[in-house]
Structure 1
Amino acid sequence: MKENSKVLALKYRPTVFKDLIGQDVIRDTILSSIIDNKTPNAYLFTGIRGVGKTTTARIVAKALNCKNGVNKLCEKNMCENCEAISNSNHIDVLEMDAASKTGVDDVRDLIEFSRYGPSIAKYKIFIIDEVHMLSKQAFNALLKTLEEPPTYKNGGSLKFIFATTEIKKIPVTVVSRCQRFDLSRVKSIELFNFLKNVKDLEGGNISDEAIKLIVKISEGSVRDALSLLDRAIISQQNNKELDLKDAQKIFGYFDKSLLIDLFKNIFDGDEEKVLQQYRLIYDQGVEPKVFLNDFLEILYYLKNINSLKIDGTNFSLNDEQFETIKDLSAKIENSIFLLFWQFTIQTMQELDIISNQNLSIEMFLIRLIYIKGIKSNISSEKIESLDIPERLSKSFKNKEVLDQIKGQTIDQIKNIVQEDKDKLNIDKSVKNIIEIKSFDELIKTCDQKKEIKLKYELENNVNLVSFEKNRIEISFNEDLSKDFLKIISSKLFNWTGERWIITLSKKQGELTKKQIKVKNKKDMLENAKKTKTYKTIKEIFDDAELVDVKNEEIND
C-alpha cells in the first residue's frame, strides 16, 4: 500500500517512543526499565480506544529486539527486526487478536510455541490484543507461563504484552502477574497541536475552530481524532477553508450558541420559541441523544462556570459563550440546574423505549418550562423539614420534582406512602373525610368512588393479613399491578385525609374475595347435590349437570 493512500490513523501511527503523545510518564518508565535490563515478564496496557495500547506494545517489542539498541531505536532506516515488527510479520513476535481466538486450545498452542527459542531476535514476544476476551480456562492455562516464562540459550526470554479496554474482565490472578500501565486520554491541547501539525503535513485547509471541534468529539482518542480529520480533509471543496459551521454539518454537531439561547427561552417560559429553536437544531440533522448529551454539557457549565476557565472546557465554549453562560448562571438558583440534570438523564433512558424520539424531546423541553419555578418560595432547609403531604401540596404540578429532590421512591417491602400528584391539593375544611374501618368498607368505598381497577385488585389479587387504623398488612399474588401500592396509598390519603402505611407481608393471609366467592359457590353446589330434588332430577335425566344455584339457602 502506498504511503499516501493510507488512512491518517495508520499513516501517522507512532513507530518510536518519542512519537507517542499524552503518555509521557508511561514512556519514560518503560524506557528506563529496558535500559536498566529490568523488564517484567508481562506488560498490561489498558485504556480507552485509540490512545496507543497496541502501538505501545509494538514499540516495546521493537525496543527489546532492535539491533541498534533501545538508545538508537530505528526510525526511518529500520533494521531487519524493527521493519518486520512494524509490518506485523516478525517470526519471533506473534500478534494475536483474543477476540477471534478466545479458547484454551489457542493458548495451549502459544505455550507449546514458547518452548522453542527465538530464531533471529533476542526476545520471543506474544502481543495479545483485547485480552479480556479470553475464556476463563484460557486465562488459567496462561498463569504458570506468565509467572515463570521460559529463558533461551541466547540470553533472552519470553515476554507477554497484553492490551485491553476492559481491565475489570481480566482475572486478578493474571493482572497480579503483569506490570500494569493505564494509558490516559490525550489532553485537548496536546491533541489539538498534533492534529494541526498533521493537517499542515497533509495540506489541509481547516480552521482552528474546526480542529477544536474534532478534539472535542474524539474525547481524547488519537485514532478517533485522526479519522475525523481524515474525513474533514476529504470533505474540502476547491481548497476552501473548512470552518466551524461546515465541520458541525459534517460531524452532526451544532452551534452551542443555539443551545444557550434555548436555555434562555426555557427560563423565560417562552414555549413557542423553545420549540422553534429545538426544531431548528433538529433540522440540522442532530440526533436526539446527541442533543441531550450537549444539553447536559451546558447544564454542567451553568452549574460550575465560576470554577472553570476558558482553556479548561475542552474547547467546548468560545469567549462569548463563556460570558453568556456566566451571566445566565448568576440569575438562576443552582437547585434548578440539578433538577434539570435529573430530568435530562431520565429522558435519555426513555428514548430507548420510544419510537419517535423527536416528540419525546419536545415534551421534555415543555416539561422543563413548567418546573423551572420550583423552590422560588421554598428554601432548601424548609424542604428538608416538611412532611411529604404538606410539601407536595404546595404545588401539585411540582410533586414529581420534589420527589426527585428527596429521592423518595416506593419501597415495596416497607412502604412509606407517596401521594399521587394529581389528587393532593386537598382542603380538608371543604372536602368530606371518609372513615374506613375495615377491608370490606375499603372495597365498598372503591365502588362508590368508581375506582373499578382498584376494586378489582383488592378483590382478586390481595390477601388481607390485618387491618388497623391507618395501617393495612397484605400479601398478594403475581397478578397484582406494579402501581397498586402507589394508587391505594394516594386514594386512601385523598379519601381519609390521613397517611396510611401499606405493609407487604410474608404471611399467607385470608383468601381473596374472589377465592371466597368461588369457594362459597362450590359449597352451595355440593349442598344442592345432596337434596332430594337434585337426586330426583338425576333419576329422570341421568345426563343432567348442576351448573349454578341461585338461592343461598337450600331446603329439601
Structure 2
Amino acid sequence: MTNNSKVLALKYRPQVPEDLIGQEVVIETILNGIKSKKTPNAYLFTGIRGVGKTTIARIIAKALNCKNGIDNLCKEKFCENCSSIINSNHIDVLEMDAASKTGVDDVRDLIEFSRYGPTSAQYKIFIIDEVHMLSKQAFNALLKTLEEPPNYLKFIFATTEIKKIPVTVVSRCQRYDLSRIKSDQLFDFLKDVAKKEKGLISDEALKLIVKISEGSVRDSLSLLDRGLMSNINGSEFTLENAQKIYGYFDKSFLIELIEYLLKGDEKNVIKNYRKLFDAGIEPKSFLNDFLEVLYYIKNINSIRLEGKIFNLNDGEFKKILEIAEKTDPQEIILFWQFTIKTIDELEIVSNPNLSVEMFLVRLIYLKGYKIKEDINNESLISSIEKETVKIDKTVETVNQIKNVSQEDKIDPKLETNKKKTEISSFRELINLCNERKEMKLKYELETNVNLVSFENFRMEISFNDNLDKDFIKELSHKLFEWTGSRWIITLSQKKGEISTKEKDQINQRQIFEQVKKSDIYKKVLEILPDAELIDVKKIDKESND
C-alpha cells in the first residue's frame, strides 16, 4: 500500500515526538527519563480512544532503540531499527493485542520469550494494547517478571479501561493519563491535514468534526476522510454537507424548538421535532442534545464564548442568552429532571419517537409550574394534570384504591374529647409529624409522597412503589388520633406533584443562585477573592435581635 492510498488516520500517524499534539508534557517527561537513564520497568498509558496511547508506545520503542541515540533521534531518514518498528516487523519489539490473546498460556509464551536478550537492538520491548482484556490468571503470571525484569526488557501497556487492571499491576508501572485533545489544537491540526490533502472544507465543517470527535485525533481524521471523499467534484465541503453525512443537526433548530416550548406553542414544537426526526436524529441523541442546551440556558452567564469551544457559534450564543433572560431557572431545572426520566423510559418503550413527542407535550404543560415562597401554600399549580388521559369511571374506581383497614382498625379508645388539631395543608401535616416525633411518617411524606389533592379530611396521592407498605394504615391512625376525625387516603393513577423534598431542593438552589448574584456577595468577593459560597440559611430577625 502506498502512502497516498492510506486512510488519513494511518497516513498522518505521528512518527516522531514533534508530531504529537496535545500530549507534549507526557512525551517530554518520558524522553527526559530516557536521557537520564531512569527508565521504569513498565509504562502504562490510559485514555479514551484515539489520543495517542499506541503511537506514544512506538515512539518510546524507537527512542530506546534508535541507532543514533536519544540525543539524535531519527527525524526524516529513519535508521534500520526505527524503520522496522514503524513497519511492525522488528524482531525485538513485539506488539500484542490483549483482546485476542487473553489467556495465561499467551503470557507464559511471552515470559519464555523474554528470557533471551535482544538480537539487534539495545532493548527488547513488549507493547501490549488493551491490556485490561487479559484474564486474572494472565495478570498473575505477569506480576513477577513485571516487577523484576531483566535490564534489557521493557513493557509498555495501553488501555482504555484502567479500572479493570489489577492494582498490583498498576503499582508496578509508571502511569500516564492521556487527556483529550483540546478543540483549538485539533482544529488547527485538521486544517493543516486538509490543506496537505488539497481538500476544500469550511471552518464551520471542521468545527463540527472537532465537536463530534470529542477530543479523539483518530476519530476526527476518520470523519475528515469521509468528508473529503464525499466532495471529489472539487466543491467546498460545507457545514450543511457535514450535517447530512455525519447525521448531525444544527443546534439552532433545537434552540428554536425550546423557544417554542417555553412559549407553549405545541404545534411548532412537534413540527420542529418531526423535522429533526425525519433528518435521522435518534430519540436518545435528541434528548442528550436537549440536555446540553438546557445546561447552556441555565449557565449561559458563566460561560465565555471562546474560539477554543466549538459547541456554540456566535448566533446560538446570542439566542440562548436572550432565552435565559426571559426564563425562570426553576423551569429549566424541572425540564432537566423530566428529560433525565424520559431517557430512562426509552429503554422500556417500543417506539421511542412517540415517547419523545409526549415528553415535549408534557413540558409544554409544565410551563408556568411555580414553587410558592409561602411555605403554608401547598397548592402547586400543576398543569401537568391536563395531559392525564381520562379514564373510564369503572376503571378509575378500581385504580383509586381505598385502604379499608384505615377505618376498621382505629382504636375505639381514641374516640375521646381530646383537644383536636387542625391540619389545613400538606406542609402542616409534615410539621406536625416533626413535632410529634413521628420521623418515619415525616420521611415518607417528604420523600415518597406525590400529592394529588389535600382537602376536607381527604388526601389523594400518586401510587409510588417506594412507599412503605404500612404507610397508609399508620398515617390514618395518627391523623385520627391528632384530629379526632377519620381521614380518607386514596392511591390514584393521576400524576401527582413532585415530592416535598424535591421542591425544597429546587427552592434552595434558586435561593443559592439569587444570593450569588447579589451585591453583598459581589462585595465579599472583592474583599476576599478566594471566598466561596457554601450554603445559605435564613436568619430569624426576632431571634437575631
Considering the TM-score relative to the shorter chain, is it more than 0.5?
yes
Q: Which residue of 1 aligns with 2:399?
A: none
Q: Which residue of 2 aligns with 1:470?
A: 476
Please tell me whether residue 371 in structure 1 is matched to residue 358 in structure 2. Answer: no
Q: Which residue of 1 aligns with 2:188?
A: 193
1:363-402 to 2 correspondence within 5 Å? 363-375=358-370, 378-379=372-373, 382=374, 391=378, 395=382, 397=384
Q: Which residue of 2 aligns with 1:226?
A: 221
Contact 2:127–2:155 at 8 Å: present in 1 too? yes
Shift of the 321–171 alpha-carbon distance from structure 1 to 2, 3 Å rule, reads: same
Q: Which residue of 1 aligns with 2:70?
A: 70
The aligned amino acid for 1:101 is K
Structural RMSD (CA): 3.1
Q: Which residue of 2 aligns with 1:46?
A: 46
Q: Which residue of 1 aligns with 2:444?
A: 416
1:159-174 to 2 correspondence within 5 Å? 159-174=154-169
Distance 1:97 1:353 in 2: 37
Distance 2:12 2:385 in 1: 55
Shift of the 42–469 alpha-carbon distance from structure 1 to 2, 3 Å rule, reads: closer
1:110-259 to 2 correspondence within 5 Å? 110-151=110-151, 157-259=152-254
Distance 2:214 2:130 in 1: 20
Aligned partner of residue 352 in structure 1, secondary structure: coil
Out of 270, 273, 280, the position equivalent to 1:278 is 273
How far the C-alpha of 1:312 sits from its partner, in A, is 6.2
Query: Unaligned 5+ residue runs, structure 1?
Result: 152-156, 403-410, 435-452, 454-461, 473-487, 495-556
Shift of the 114–414 alpha-carbon distance from structure 1 to 2, 3 Å rule, reads: farther
Contact 2:262–2:367 at 8 Å: present in 1 too? yes
How far the C-alpha of 1:19 sits from its partner, in A, is 0.6
Structure of higher CA gyration radius: 1
Query: Unaligned 5+ residue runs, structure 2?
Result: 388-425, 427-438, 479-487, 495-545
The aligned amino acid for 2:382 is S
How far the C-alpha of 1:70 sits from its partner, in A, is 2.0
Aligned partner of residue 109 in structure 1, secondary structure: helix
Distance 1:93 1:139 in 2: 20
The aligned amino acid for 1:277 is N
Contact 2:365–2:383 at 8 Å: present in 1 too? no
Contact 1:42–1:178 at 8 Å: present in 2 too? yes
Q: TM-score, normalised by structure 1?
A: 0.72
Distance 2:477 2:5 in 1: 77
How far the C-alpha of 1:470 sits from its partner, in A, is 2.7
Out of 411, 425, 445, the position equivalent to 2:453 is 425
How far the C-alpha of 1:237 sits from its partner, in A, is 4.5
The aligned amino acid for 1:397 is I
Shift of the 33–428 alpha-carbon distance from structure 1 to 2, 3 Å rule, reads: same
Q: Which residue of 1 aligns with 2:22?
A: 22
The aligned amino acid for 1:378 is K
Please tell me whether residue 299 in structure 1 is matched to residue 290 in structure 2. Answer: no
Aligned partner of residue 391 in structure 1, secondary structure: coil
Distance 1:364 1:262 in 2: 13
1:84-103 to 2 correspondence within 5 Å? 84-103=84-103
Contact 2:186–2:217 at 8 Å: present in 1 too? yes
Aligned partner of residue 195 in structure 2, secondary structure: helix
Can you list the C-alpha shifts for 1:418-474, whole angstroms capped at 9, x where unaligned? 4455xx334318x7x99xxxxxxxxxxxxxxxxxx9xxxxxxxx99999667359xx
Can you list the C-alpha shifts for 1:164-205, whole angstroms capped at 9, x where unaligned? 000001111111110000000000000000000000001111
Distance 2:264 2:179 in 1: 43
Distance 2:217 2:6 in 1: 16
Distance 2:266 2:254 in 1: 15
Contact 2:300–2:320 at 8 Å: present in 1 too? yes
How far the C-alpha of 1:336 sits from its partner, in A, is 1.7
Distance 1:240 1:122 in 2: 51
Shift of the 237–125 alpha-carbon distance from structure 1 to 2, 3 Å rule, reads: closer
Distance 2:295 2:450 in 1: 31
Aligned partner of residue 353 in structure 1, secondary structure: coil
Q: Which residue of 2 aligns with 1:541?
A: none
Aligned partner of residue 26 in structure 1, secondary structure: helix
1:323-402 to 2 correspondence within 5 Å? 323-375=318-370, 378-379=372-373, 382=374, 391=378, 395=382, 397=384
Can you list the C-alpha shifts for 1:328-362, whole angstroms capped at 9, x where unaligned? 11111222222211221221222122221111111
